[in-house]
Amino acid sequence: MKVKILNERESSIARILLRNDQTLITQAGTLLAMRGDIGINTTFRRSSAKGNSSNERTIASESLFLTEFRGLDDKNEVWLAPGMIGNIVVHTIKNYKLVVFPLLIWPAMAP
């Protein structure tokens, strides 16, 4: 799988090249375009996490629609963009899970 980030400013686009049997899981609604023989499956996942003894607060359950793209031949492209304005960063991770939650900051309103 190769990833190229285009327009690395406030409106980044990721161009992902998928080979046969490679899988890409994204948040639903991020697809801009695709080309090639690609299998698509959308799932609904719900998770719940609670604080531990060092952290007394409880995190509410999260619900998320995910889209899975699977390459069915060797020449596939998937173009993705974030739902909100922002940059896309590529992280290479082995033997770990990565969960990313978008951070939305509202400007303070003057009274």
Please check whether residue 104 lies inside any domain of the structure.
no
* Residue range of the domain that includes 72: 2-80
Whether the pLDDT of residue 50 is over 70: the answer is no
Please check whether residue 96 lies inside any domain of the structure.
no
Please check whether residue 103 lies inside any domain of the structure.
no
pTM (two decimals): 0.67
Please check whether residue 108 lies inside any domain of the structure.
no
For residues 73-86, average pLDDT: 86
The full 3-state SS of the chain, as one line of letters, equals CEEEEECCCCECEEEEEECCCCEEEEECCCEEEEECCEEEEEEEEEEEECCCCCCCCCEEEEEEEEEEEEECCCCEEEEECCCCCECCCCCCCCCCCCCCCCCCCCCCCCC
Confidence category of residue 110, pLDDT binned at 50, 70, 90: very low
Whether the pLDDT of residue 108 is over 50: the answer is no
The larger pLDDT score, comparing residue 64 to residue 70, is at: 70
Could you give the number of structural domains in the chain? Answer: 1
Please check whether residue 34 lies inside any domain of the structure.
yes
Please check whether residue 58 lies inside any domain of the structure.
yes
pLDDT for the residue 28 = 81
